[in-house]
Structure 1
Amino acid sequence: MRKRKVLTGLCLLMGLTACAQGSEIQSGEPQAIVHKQPKVKELSAQERKEVLGKVDTGMVKAQNDFGLRLHQALSNSPEYKSGNLIISPYSITQALALAYNGTAGDTAAEMSDVLGWKGMSVADINEGNRQLRSLLENGGGVVLNVANSVWHQPGLEMKKTYLKAVKDSYGVEVRETDLMQEEAMNAINQWVKDKTSSMIPTIYDEPPGGVAVLINAVYFNGGWMDEFDPANTVDEEFTLSDGTTQKIPMMKRKGRYSYKEGESWQAIRIPYGDGRMHMLVILPKESSSMDELQQQLWKDTSVWKGDFPHETIQLGLPKFKVEQTFELPDALQSLGMIQAFDRDAADFSAMAHDGEKFWIEKIKHKTVVDVSEKGTVAAAITAVGIETGAVLTTEPIVMNINRPFFIAIEDRDTGAWLFMGSVLRP
């Protein structure tokens, strides 16, 4: 008989990070999951196979690696060090792709290095992102909607080649509005609210200013393939990183799951919909810690890639909701993306007309992750502000996620992590 294993920590869902403005963590009743229909017709199995063959796996790996490096950079920041930290690598990458299309010279080189696109043409990057989005938004038994927009000051002329590229490859909506006025703020916030199905009602609490704002929105709604029975949800103690405990609602279920364990961790994939997408949860064993796990994650994630064997698991998963907001410039600059924020050195000549000087003033990111007995609803917004100077076992394995843990929402076909992060205090 196999020795029973106990899994007690949980790592937060990929896609959300703490912000300089703080983070809000709520446990208890999350909002009801309303399953909407995807905006586009689902692909057939053959169509999915054909599109999957066109997806650049190198770009997917680059996105995940970038997300982990950004997660590490933010974790080293004092304001995020002791709390939850969840980001959406997908949302951030897509928003930065809108900006990257406008860059040239050393600014473009720095961004491509940070994003893992070195040696690729802009056309190939755009096509790779277009194919990945086509695959992610179709099928899987979940709803995943992606939207992009560019908002700019009245009279500002962006290069037609830039606008055509972002419209064709990213489906960008272009809006002209005075970014100094509350009317513009209200319009942008309404767009954000609409595109995230009200999960994120606002991105700005004052007019954004500047000459342009480039925005990406991601909305994910996935019901578990096998739901948790609310009658089995009980309040249990969750042990925090400092050794103290707090009571949280713990969802319980016994079933067959993809499961793997190492010397210092346990990992499980909990499937959504038809099984194409999962929540990956990696829990450090009681003899280890979240710090040790994160060091492993930041160094090499290959041990958690590929398929896991199936085991019978007695699973305990926290029911929680996390909302966070943060600013990204400092973390991105620490990764080497410097010139884009420098008013003198930034080169956005592929976006701005001759004589105009653009640079990135701020990048704001918001995420919400709501995990309940029915499934997961998650949303992310990334806004890039542009400024100008010119203008089988006999006994089930026990996995009780009652300690800090790491999570990721992944597309198993491509390996793309849509959301990822650490949950220290659910």
Structure 2
Amino acid sequence: MNKKWMIVVLGLTLVATACGSHGLTDKQQEQKKTDEQALDPKERKAILGKLDPKIVEAENAFGLRIHQALSKLETGENVLISPYSLSTGLALAYNGSAGETAQQMQTVLGWNDMGLKQVNAANSQLRSILEHGGGVTLNIANSVWIQNDFVMKESYLNTVKDGYGAEVKATDLGQQESINIMNNWVSEKTNGMIKEVYSKPQDAKAILINAVYFNGGWMDEFNPQLTEDKDFTLADGTVKKVPMMKQEQGFGYKESDKWQAVRLPYGDGRMHMLVVVPSKDSSLEELHKQLWQDPSVWRSDYEFETIKLELPRFKAELSDKLSEKLIDILKNAGMKNAFLQEKADFSAMAETPLYIRSIGHKVVVDVNEEGTEAAAVTSIAMPTGAPEPTKPVVMTVDRPFFFAIEDRDTGAFLFMGSIMNP
């Protein structure tokens, strides 16, 4: 019997922006809104007590495996990903999977010892913790856009509505007007940072979108008057001039003879950027090996030190060339059936056979004196079928380095990357 294969496109969008960017000039008003949304300490403690740490461990480990595979392509380009976006996007697809397809997905995502209900509950709790508090704004929104003549299972729709807060909208995806409405939804949820996910009508039966908006300024901003052009040495020895931000401040810090690491807090300190730079007699390649083998080295035991810090002001993004390698990376990791028309099983999503046709992941990170602006888009197309400090520690980030934007309480990586060329 011939199978009728249709097209489903899942687009998942992650966005972050620094305080003061994109028209948010009144910081006090933004902070007041953030504080009103924050969980009180008892509520926060209660949710943290329920959160299964395995969901964060799996998400970070998955992100590091993707980071490792992309870095080993040795293109000399910046490697940036959003582990949170990738895991959340694939979680929406995973909820529609069954059989061997589901088994492969849960293995690659690190959820083998977690049932589906446990995964969804943990993702819901993690979302609540990330969204509420920390002195930053982090809003997460999901939506499911369904072609008028296509039927998705009520059980699937109820799951994504209840567990992920997804809005369900029936429309004609083959009409430009519907695409415009969808793009307007995305623009609204991302505060205008991403205005368009599709430019023309789609031959699709459903589109799933995950949008996250982050707004966080440094707890201690860099003085832009101190920023000056200085040398940055690339991996091949080439030297270029980059705008180097400077400040001398107390931060969480640790070091070895091979690297220096500092945590730069946002907002009230719950979220921070981890910056790890190899020593001059080491390399980012050596740092990567240790990172992929045991990332726990950078999780704890930071001392409060006064740091004389120099950090590039940079804007970097994941190239389309690297993004296109994601399907091969996931296949090599063991997630094979999801991409094979005759083997994919997404029967928990719809009666019509589905498979994943493509995955796109776009990431942009902009670090400046006020804070960090970052955006990530993951799209999945499925054709059916402190102590008193002593003297300052000098930390000059003038060579390729690793960074991560991390939630302190949960340890979740929202973004991570290696900056080869700022």
The alignment's TM-score, normalised by the length of structure 2, stands at: 0.88
**Equivalent residue for 1:153, pick from 147, 151, 157:** 147
Query: Which residue type is aligned with residue 365 of structure 1?
Result: H
Instruction: State the distance in 1 between where 2:36 and 2:341 align.
Output: 40
**Change in CA separation of 1:395 and 1:41 when aligned onto 2, cut-off 3 Å:** closer
1:217 pairs with 2:211: yes
Match of 1:11 in 2: none
Match of 2:162 in 1: 168
Q: Are the counterparts in 1 of residues 96 and 347 from structure 2 also a CA contact under 8 Å?
A: yes
Match of 2:3 in 1: none
1:358 counterpart SS class: coil
Deviations 1:299-335 (A, max 9, x none): 1101111241111110011112224453432222222
**Change in CA separation of 1:415 and 1:310 when aligned onto 2, cut-off 3 Å:** same
Instruction: State the distance in 2 between where 1:382 and 1:200 align.
Output: 12
Match of 1:361 in 2: 357
**Equivalent residue for 1:233, pick from 205, 227, 241:** 227
**Change in CA separation of 1:208 and 1:285 when aligned onto 2, cut-off 3 Å:** farther
Match of 1:297 in 2: 291
Question: How much has 1:206 moved relative to structure 2?
Answer: 4.3
- Mapping for residues 66-85 of structure 1, pairs under 5 Å: 66-77=62-73, 81-85=75-79
2:151 counterpart SS class: coil
Instruction: State the distance in 1 between where 2:70 and 2:228 align.
Output: 33
Match of 1:49 in 2: 45
**Equivalent residue for 1:287, pick from 270, 281, 286:** 281
Q: Which has the higher contact order (CA 8 A, sep 6+)?
A: 1
Structure 2 runs not aligned, ≥5 long:
1-19
- Give the fraction of aligned pairs with identical amino acids, expressed as a percent: 55
- Mapping for residues 187-198 of structure 1, pairs under 5 Å: 187-198=181-192
Q: Are the counterparts in 1 of residues 79 and 317 from structure 2 also a CA contact under 8 Å?
A: no
Question: How much has 1:154 moved relative to structure 2?
Answer: 1.6
Question: How much has 1:393 moved relative to structure 2?
Answer: 5.6
Q: Are the counterparts in 1 of residues 35 and 135 from structure 2 also a CA contact under 8 Å?
A: no
Instruction: State the distance in 1 between where 2:203 and 2:76 align.
Output: 32
1:255 pairs with 2:249: yes
Instruction: State the distance in 1 between where 2:342 and 2:123 align.
Output: 30
Match of 1:344 in 2: 342
1:424 pairs with 2:400: no
Match of 1:333 in 2: 331
Match of 1:95 in 2: 89
**Equivalent residue for 1:409, pick from 390, 405, 411:** 405
Question: How much has 1:47 moved relative to structure 2?
Answer: 0.9
Deviations 1:202-248 (A, max 9, x none): 33344443322222222221111111111111111111111111111
Q: Are the counterparts in 2 of residues 33 and 376 from structure 1 also a CA contact under 8 Å?
A: no
Instruction: Give the helix-richer structure, 1 or 2.
Output: 2
Instruction: State the distance in 2 between where 1:187 and 1:341 align.
Output: 29
Match of 1:23 in 2: none
**Change in CA separation of 1:222 and 1:296 when aligned onto 2, cut-off 3 Å:** same
Instruction: State the distance in 2 between where 1:333 and 1:183 align.
Output: 36
RMSD: 2.0
**Change in CA separation of 1:335 and 1:40 when aligned onto 2, cut-off 3 Å:** farther
Instruction: State the distance in 2 between where 1:221 and 1:381 align.
Output: 17
1:359 counterpart SS class: coil
Structure 1 runs not aligned, ≥5 long:
1-28
Question: How much has 1:119 moved relative to structure 2?
Answer: 2.5
Question: How much has 1:74 moved relative to structure 2?
Answer: 1.8
Instruction: State the distance in 1 between where 2:23 and 2:364 align.
Output: 14
**Change in CA separation of 1:161 and 1:222 when aligned onto 2, cut-off 3 Å:** same
Instruction: State the distance in 1 between where 2:281 and 2:191 align.
Output: 41
Match of 1:272 in 2: 266
Matched residues, number: 392
Deviations 1:345-387 (A, max 9, x none): 011111112xx11111112222222211111122222222222
